[in-house]
Structure 1
Amino acid sequence: MLAFSRVSNLPRKVCMQGRMIVTLVATLFLSTTLQASLNQSYYPKNFQDDVASGKLKNTALKNELFAIVAGIHETGGKTDRIVESCPESSTCFTQDRDISYKQAREYLFGQLHLKKSGNSYYVEDVYCEKEFDSEFGVGPGKIPDPNYLNCEHTWPQSRFSPNFPALVQKNDLHHLYPADSRANSSRSNHIFAMVDGRAVNKTCQSSRRGMAIGSSLTAFEPAENHRGNVARALFYFSVRYKIHIDPLEEGYLREWHREDPVDAEERKRNDEIFKIQQNRNPFIDEPLLADDIRDF
């Protein structure tokens, strides 16, 4: 199992013969095990070493992560190598940029979030925590009725980067989630934050829209169980497409990232997306990476 070990130099006060002696604890290791089952070779060895030693921070770390999630991986060793082009006789892969929006929705609703209870299939939306079954067109490989269940772009399409193909951003599964259509409409393209406002509607009490606390901006507050997922999806999107996150929004995302940590379901989703799309969300694999980036 792959792990990143971090080294920290911390002062320690020791009382000896009535005097305070300040010593340095030179090697306090804080190890975090990468949980996902497919990522043991995904992150290059030099990247792991630089993260462990504390060399990679802020912009340098974002640039390295961009190279990993968007670049060409040459396989064959214990860990992948990031290369400019695939050498002859080598096996390589990169993010699949040819997934259509129709395919992305089929994967999202008909595979990634499809659940089964007895002989019935259903999909649970992330904002209202409602279950939609076959009456709404749910099933393996199916796209449900958009009048009831939508494909939510956690990073709004109106704020996509002009420097990368819009379709690649639109179809990137790492930020797509099933959402109740009315809640999705209520969210619109507003930033995420804790709000002073009302629930989306009578049948959707888990999410709220209103004035962002600490601002005069209209914002959307997602269901508590989905807040960490929102944070990690936006961290990924910011790094992958080199877009800044609104400072107010970022403050709330960091808070949610800590309060709603990665769970088994989110790790499984990351693994499944890797099988489909051929890249991973590093902030799910190693949540502490977010702490090494001062500004998204």
Structure 2
Amino acid sequence: MRIKMSAVATATAIVLGTFSTAASANLVITEYIEGSAYNKAIEISNLGSSDINLDANAYKLILFANGADASKPGNTETLTGTLAPGKSIVFHYAGATIDAFKLGSASTVTYFNGDDAVVLTKNDVVIDRFGKRGEDPGTEWKDPNNADFSSVNKTLRRKASVTTGDTVAEADFPGTNNQWAVFVIDTADGLGCPGEKACTGDVTPPEPPKPSEPETGPCTGCETLTPVADPATFNSEIYYSDVLSGEFANAEELKNALSVIIAKNHKQLTYKQVWSTLTYADQDPANDKNVIEIYTGASISKYDNQTGGSGVGKWNREHVWAKSHGFPNESQWGYTDAHHLRPSDVGINTARSNNDFGACKDTGEEVLFNGAGTGNYLDKTTDCWEPRDKVKGDVARMIMYMDTRYQGTDTAMTQMPDLVAVDRLTTTAEDDAPLIGTLCTLYEWSQLDAVDSYEQNRNNQVYKYQGNRNPFIDRPELVKEVYGAVCGDDPNPGLVVEGDIVTPESVTEGAAYTLDASAIKAGEGVTLTYKWEQIVGEEKTLVGNQAILSLTAPKVKADDTLNFTLTISNGTSETTKAVSLSVMNVPFMVEVGFAGNTKLAEEQSTTITATVADAPVGTTYSWKQVSGTTAKFTATDLKLDVTAPKVDINQSLVFELTVTNADKESFSKSVSIEVLNTEDAGWTKPDGAGSLGGFITLLLPLIWLRRRQG
């Protein structure tokens, strides 16, 4: 069973620990806990003798759920910072109910159940694993040699004798040499340090040491980025020209056109580069050394980004469109799209989790920060998050950007599904679906909280380093054009009229008929224009421009339906009405007569001549025998020549004339010819009471003769 998870706190947590055994530098999974309810955690430790610079290589912890193989990685954590010897990184499930589990950072990599595998990689090469990738054991990993071992409802710690990782992710697990010590459910006293024993002493991480030299990047461990676009030369009229000059049948077509525009020149950032981008995009206007956190509004040093430690007093990267809703992997473009990534206090980020946005101030509880209210509200019952008023419009326009940018049209490049903002809160069953709510609440927020200079500058800075823009910040009127109609605020409201079109219930093919819209009014003195169009398949044909449409029903081979639309306009707005009309087919019939001898002796011939009254031009004729002993016959148009066959008894031969018009419609009529049996010469029917009596009379002499001979 999958359960609703919290949002990932993307920076890693470096936790104090001790380990007395000297070993070469190596990063190893040292503890795995699958406990009761939401109490889950996993620990990674440096079992070597020197620091590991996690930023120097791509270290990832990847979940492979339900037997997924190497081609289907799941939730992923990219490790950052520096990990000293004997120190550990801990990830826990954000909904843990036991405080001892809340060490390190909340992460969706802890979505694991007992039948999943977790793999640690360096530059995509396996350096350690828990479980067997590509295999689903059913419910748990078991050891036939140790009945106590299980990956469900247990705490498993790497034995002290293990100093290097298990690099074969597809090997049997736990294998013949089981490397794991087993502890009872919900044992968490070993989190934060490697080894089989419980951690001792204070495991609260100290503050990271201040750099001895001035930072060269814009934040701790960050790189200085090279711009890819120049905001100073940006021209909105040119950038959005295809939309501003275009005509679109509906909002979806407009949205698709916007998607094409903002996909062009979009450069995919790395997740590390997002740190730097946010220091430029979310810089405090009053202090260029700080950034503004989205949910608290607090100004915090750019260098207090969470590259390690507990996260207290740090900021990290908040995915406003929760990444678990459609793009859990770092390789997917939405994961690193800076247009929806904002600095956030680590604790507030965890509280927001991956909940949808909605109006839940009245039902939820206010989220506190340093003991004071933040203006953000969380309803845990409905999984709803309502952000503070000052950023509601920002949130709305970020969600609309994501909904528009990722239309599912460039999936091969972006590895992104079609993201959809829905007008409801999503369900627990939809946690992994590319959906987020609540659309029309967000629409309302976008109208109440207008674009400000901070948001405009942010759009410019993301454009500078990512190369594309948020159209709903540049052109706020597009919000209504794209989303207004579905949220009851149609930018192009239809003409309001009264009255109906008068139509016949049906019409016979070839008959004249009228469709009368003259009773439709739009108010006193309002002059209306009309456009009648007939719809055939995907095509529309103009058939009239007056209130009353007069036409003749076409010929049809079977009953059919004609479809029309009437567009009524007052010159500034319009409305459209649909009309359907049944056309009834008239079966093809003609009056047919036959002349000629229709009573023949066997082997006698006759000619039957048919007459057809008012036969239409192009009519053809065909004859066939439909019953009776097969006769010899020839037919030419309306003439039939027949020679009667020999018959044992009198019978009727039935011939059918089929009349077919130029439209391939047919009418048939039959004629019967009676054929009389002819008796053999020299045979006379004897007198008697009947045929049976005569037959007996003939037999009597034969019987007497036989007796005399006997």
Q: TM-score w.r.t. structure 1 length? A: 0.68
Change (3 A) 1:132 1:69: same
Residue matched to 1:115: 284
Whole-angstrom distance in 2 between the partners of 1:262 and 1:165: 30
Residue matched to 1:247: 423
Change (3 A) 1:41 1:116: closer
Change (3 A) 1:291 1:37: farther
Q: Please tell me whether the aligned partners of residues 281 and 459 of structure 2 are also in contact (alpha carbons under 8 angstroms).
A: no
Q: Please tell me whether the aligned partners of residues 306 and 315 of structure 2 are also in contact (alpha carbons under 8 angstroms).
A: no
Whole-angstrom distance in 2 between the partners of 1:235 and 1:179: 20
Residue matched to 2:235: 39
Q: Show structure 1 runs of 5+ residues with no match.
A: 1-35, 72-93
2:310 equivalent to 1:133:
no
Change (3 A) 1:44 1:192: closer
Indicate the structure (1 or 2) with the bigger Cα radius of gyration. 2
Residue matched to 1:267: 456
2:270 equivalent to 1:100:
yes
What secondary structure is seen at the aligned counterpart in 2 of 1:247?
Answer: coil
CA-to-aligned-CA distance 1:1-50 (integer Å, 9 cap, x gap): xxxxxxxxxxxxxxxxxxxxxxxxxxxxxxxxxxx972335525342112
Residue matched to 2:244: 48
CA-to-aligned-CA distance 1:55-81 (integer Å, 9 cap, x gap): 36311011101110113xxxxxxxxxx
Counting only pairs closer than 5 Å after superposition, residues 222-261 of structure 1 correspond to structure 2 as 222-242=387-407, 243-248=419-424, 249-261=438-450
Change (3 A) 1:122 1:61: same
What secondary structure is seen at the aligned counterpart in 2 of 1:105?
Answer: helix
Q: Please tell me whether the aligned partners of residues 112 and 272 of structure 1 are also in contact (alpha carbons under 8 angstroms).
A: yes
Moved more, 238-247 or 55-64: 55-64
Q: Please tell me whether the aligned partners of residues 355 and 385 of structure 2 are also in contact (alpha carbons under 8 angstroms).
A: yes
Q: Please tell me whether the aligned partners of residues 295 and 376 of structure 2 are also in contact (alpha carbons under 8 angstroms).
A: yes
Report how far residue 117 of structure 1 moved.
Answer: 5.4
Whole-angstrom distance in 1 between the partners of 2:233 and 2:377: 35
Residue matched to 2:250: 57
Q: Please tell me whether the aligned partners of residues 113 and 123 of structure 1 are also in contact (alpha carbons under 8 angstroms).
A: yes
Report how far residue 241 of structure 1 moved.
Answer: 1.1
Whole-angstrom distance in 1 between the partners of 2:455 and 2:286: 20
Residue matched to 1:5: none
Whole-angstrom distance in 1 between the partners of 2:372 and 2:347: 10
What secondary structure is seen at the aligned counterpart in 2 of 1:132?
Answer: strand
Number of aligned positions between the proteins: 224
Q: Please tell me whether the aligned partners of residues 251 and 481 of structure 2 are also in contact (alpha carbons under 8 angstroms).
A: yes
Q: Please tell me whether the aligned partners of residues 152 and 179 of structure 1 are also in contact (alpha carbons under 8 angstroms).
A: yes
Aligned AA (2:293): D
2:263 equivalent to 1:70:
yes
Whole-angstrom distance in 2 between the partners of 1:168 and 1:199: 33
Q: Please tell me whether the aligned partners of residues 106 and 143 of structure 1 are also in contact (alpha carbons under 8 angstroms).
A: no
Residue matched to 2:466: 277
Q: Please tell me whether the aligned partners of residues 355 and 384 of structure 2 are also in contact (alpha carbons under 8 angstroms).
A: yes
Whole-angstrom distance in 2 between the partners of 1:191 and 1:158: 11
Residue matched to 1:188: 353
Aligned AA (2:291): V
Report how far residue 280 of structure 1 moved.
Answer: 0.5
Change (3 A) 1:161 1:102: closer
Residue matched to 1:150: 316
Change (3 A) 1:240 1:117: closer
Counting only pairs closer than 5 Å after superposition, residues 165-180 of structure 1 correspond to structure 2 as 166-180=331-345
Report how far residue 224 of structure 1 moved.
Answer: 0.7
CA-to-aligned-CA distance 1:175-234 (integer Å, 9 cap, x gap): 0111111111111111011212111123342211016xxxx6220011110000000000
Aligned AA (1:169): G
What secondary structure is seen at the aligned counterpart in 1 of 2:385?
Answer: strand
Residue matched to 1:200: 367
Report how far residue 126 of structure 1 moved.
Answer: 1.3
Residue matched to 1:29: none
Whole-angstrom distance in 2 between the partners of 1:113 and 1:268: 9
What is the Cα-based RMSD across aligned positions, in Å? 2.8
Change (3 A) 1:227 1:234: same
Q: Please tell me whether the aligned partners of residues 58 and 295 of structure 1 are also in contact (alpha carbons under 8 angstroms).
A: no
Q: Please tell me whether the aligned partners of residues 183 and 204 of structure 1 are also in contact (alpha carbons under 8 angstroms).
A: no
Q: Which has the higher contact order (CA 8 A, sep 6+)?
A: 1
Whole-angstrom distance in 1 between the partners of 2:280 and 2:389: 24
What secondary structure is seen at the aligned counterpart in 2 of 1:292?
Answer: helix
Change (3 A) 1:204 1:288: same
CA-to-aligned-CA distance 1:223-275 (integer Å, 9 cap, x gap): 11000000000000001112111213111100100000001111111111111
Aligned AA (1:59): E
CA-to-aligned-CA distance 1:141-171 (integer Å, 9 cap, x gap): x767644212110001111259x98431111
Whole-angstrom distance in 2 between the partners of 1:126 and 1:161: 21
Change (3 A) 1:185 1:177: same
Report how far residue 295 of structure 1 moved.
Answer: 4.8
Give 2:479's match in structure 1, choosing from 286, 290, 294: 290
2:349 equivalent to 1:160:
no
Whole-angstrom distance in 2 between the partners of 1:114 and 1:67: 29
Aligned AA (1:237): M
Change (3 A) 1:197 1:168: same
Q: Please tell me whether the aligned partners of residues 200 and 208 of structure 1 are also in contact (alpha carbons under 8 angstroms).
A: yes
What secondary structure is seen at the aligned counterpart in 1 of 2:367?
Answer: strand
Whole-angstrom distance in 2 between the partners of 1:115 and 1:144: 21
